[in-house]
Amino acid sequence: MEHYNMNLTLKVWRQENNNAAGRFESYEVADISSEMSFLEMFDVLNERLIEQGKDPIAFDHDCREGICGMCSMHINGRPHGPWHATTTCQLHMRAFKNGDTIVVEPWRANAFPVIKDLAVDRTAFDRIIQAGGFISVNTGNAQDGNALPIDKTAADASFAAASCIACGACVAACKNASASLFTAAKVAHLALLPQGAPERKLRVMSMVDQMDKEGFGSCTFTGACEAVCPKEISVTNISMMHKEYLVAGLTTEK
pLDDT at 1: 64
**SS3 (DSSP) at 148:** coil
Task: Name the residue range of residue 68's domain.
Answer: 5-105
User: Looking at residues 223-230, what average pLDDT do you find?
Assistant: 98
pLDDT at 141: 78
Mean of the per-residue pLDDT values of the chain: 95
Q: How far is CA 185 from the centre of its chain?
A: 12
Q: What is the pLDDT of residues 37-89, one digit of tens each?
A: 999 999 999 999 999 999 999 999 999 999 999 999 999 999 999 999 999 99
Q: CA-CA distance, 106 to 116, in Å (whole number)?
A: 9
| Residue at 115 is within a domain | no
CA angle (218 as vertex; 181, 162 as ends), nearest 5: 10
Domain boundary, last residue among 45, 71, 105:
105
Q: What is the pLDDT of residues 25-47, one digit of tens each?
A: 999 999 999 999 999 999 999 99
- Do 32 and 81 share a domain, yes or no? yes
- Do 100 and 134 share a domain, yes or no? no
Q: Phi and psi of 151, rounded to 5°?
A: -55, 135
Whether the model pTM is above 0.85:
yes
Q: What is the pLDDT of residues 142-162, one digit of tens each?
A: 777 677 788 999 999 999 999
Q: What is the pLDDT of residues 195-215, one digit of tens each?
A: 899 899 999 999 999 999 999
- Do 215 and 163 share a domain, yes or no? yes
**Domains identified in the chain, total number:** 2
Residue with the larger pLDDT of the pair 171 and 198: 171
pLDDT at 117: 98
Domain CATH number, residue 168: 1.10.1060.10
Neighbouring-strand partners of residue 13: 24
Domain CATH number, residue 36: 3.10.20.30
